Structure 1
């Protein structure tokens, strides 16, 4: 039996429609997808797996966001032999069942496969957001690789909060796998054979100083490789004294920065510094 892929390019949790369907965010998403395709082609990846949460809003899709979705699904369809789109929790209308999802029109493309049920081919299993007691099926899966959208206790939900153990799915349930790759938690983290690969790019100040995101490439039988998007938005918090000492170190295009005034300056001086830095560094 042939393998599902020779070399696969992966990304996750892009969240089209975030920030009240912000045009800037959706544009960032599209620029990321185009960069992702370029890097995947450079690495000769024939397969793409998206690990969940294509959209941000469960209940509705803004018309502008829908157009971004359609164009970017088409980009992926044209770039890869097969594209697998896992249904994450944000893609589902209901929290406890997968009856309705917001990416159904991806199936209009022959080579885009919407993974709305547990899917196994050869030595690969692709798992959507689990509902009801489906987590009990995980220990019985023997596949070498699993790609999914899991909520596992003991991993960081963000910089401050770890996911508690809820008594359901555990990383120990994946003892048969060489690697388990997951979306859902946005920061890259690894425990034993379970890897949260990190989402496409930082989204807000919960991602402060955490730029280790982007895409993953996995060649069959090899170790995963990660590539950060060089043009990704970045979120930082910093003291003004540190910033003015070396602004070029911290201020790049698309940097969102919260500055603490730790030196004695007037409001007018602070406003002037902000204006100068914003214009000079294209913030």
Structure 2
């Protein structure tokens, strides 16, 4: 089974800037969806920060999102699994109110949204999904991490010891040690690609801010 992974798309970034919007969808139109079609990929996982602005989304951004990102998944018959990232949430201490559920919840049979930690099986491989961890779900997230027998973990994680951007290492957040039980860990959140051979930050698919300059994307 082949699974595509994408994260930190940040639709609506830079105050719904139309130039950035077109640039983001150029990646989707020219690279992302053609790659899924060429390789006959029928499952995609989004690791969070689907949208950018926490408090609202413009009509234009939501229309483009529906027509240019969501519709291709529906038309191509691709299952899309979306985890909630910190930019998707209205409140900082809970995932309960989020843009993804408000825009997509219950509208498409092939799209599933994860606001809380959950084990998901693809063929014979169990994967632990960890959406954004906050004050409300810290205990339940830590509990399922300890309990799970999943081989792989995917999430929108803030793990200490990885670069947030070039030259700036995150010194706070989750300890690497709690993820030792997994064969591999894949995460969104930090826009720069990095890994320690076990935990992989996949990076944003395209440049969004000046600190993305000269970072390898895609």
C-alpha separation between the residues in 1 aligned to 2:120 and 2:7? 21
Displacement of 1:207 after TM fit? 1.2
Q: Does 1:17 align with 2:20?
A: no
User: 2:41, 2:78 within 8 Å by CA — same for their partners in 1?
Assistant: no
Match of 1:272 in 2: none
Matches of residues 175-190 of structure 1 in structure 2 within 5 Å?
Answer: 175-190=180-195
Match of 1:220 in 2: none
Match of 1:202 in 2: 207
Q: Does 1:98 align with 2:95?
A: yes
Match of 1:256 in 2: none
Please point out which of 137, 150, 161 is paired with 1:143.
Answer: 150
Displacement of 1:50 after TM fit? 0.8
User: 1:21, 1:62 within 8 Å by CA — same for their partners in 2?
Assistant: yes
RMSD over equivalenced CA pairs, Å: 1.5
User: 1:48, 1:80 within 8 Å by CA — same for their partners in 2?
Assistant: no
Measured against aligned partners, the alpha-carbon deviations of 1:59-98 in whole angstroms (never above 9, x if no partner) come to 0111111111211112223234310011100000011101
C-alpha separation between the residues in 2 aligned to 1:25 and 1:9? 23
- Show structure 2 runs of 5+ residues with no match: none
Q: Normalization by structure 1: what TM-score?
A: 0.69
Query: Computing the radius of gyration over CA atoms, which structure comes out larger, 1 or 2?
Result: 1
User: 1:141, 1:176 within 8 Å by CA — same for their partners in 2?
Assistant: no
- Show structure 1 runs of 5+ residues with no match: 1-5, 215-283
Comparing 85-94 with 140-149, which one deviates more in the overlay? 140-149
Q: Does 1:88 align with 2:85?
A: yes
C-alpha separation between the residues in 1 aligned to 2:55 and 2:115? 17
The number of residues matched between the two structures is 206
Matches of residues 166-177 of structure 1 in structure 2 within 5 Å?
Answer: 166=173, 169-177=174-182
C-alpha separation between the residues in 2 aligned to 1:186 and 1:165? 17
Match of 2:117 in 1: 118
Match of 1:131 in 2: 134
C-alpha separation between the residues in 2 aligned to 1:55 and 1:81? 20
C-alpha separation between the residues in 2 aligned to 1:48 and 1:129? 18
C-alpha separation between the residues in 2 aligned to 1:26 and 1:68? 9
Matches of residues 1-283 of structure 1 in structure 2 within 5 Å?
Answer: 6-34=1-29, 35-71=31-67, 72-104=69-101, 105-107=103-105, 108-122=107-121, 123-132=126-135, 133-134=138-139, 135-137=141-143, 138-166=145-173, 169-210=174-215, 212-214=216-218
Q: Normalization by structure 2: what TM-score?
A: 0.89
User: 1:158, 1:185 within 8 Å by CA — same for their partners in 2?
Assistant: yes
Measured against aligned partners, the alpha-carbon deviations of 1:109-134 in whole angstroms (never above 9, x if no partner) come to 11000111212123112121012224
C-alpha separation between the residues in 2 aligned to 1:116 and 1:124? 15
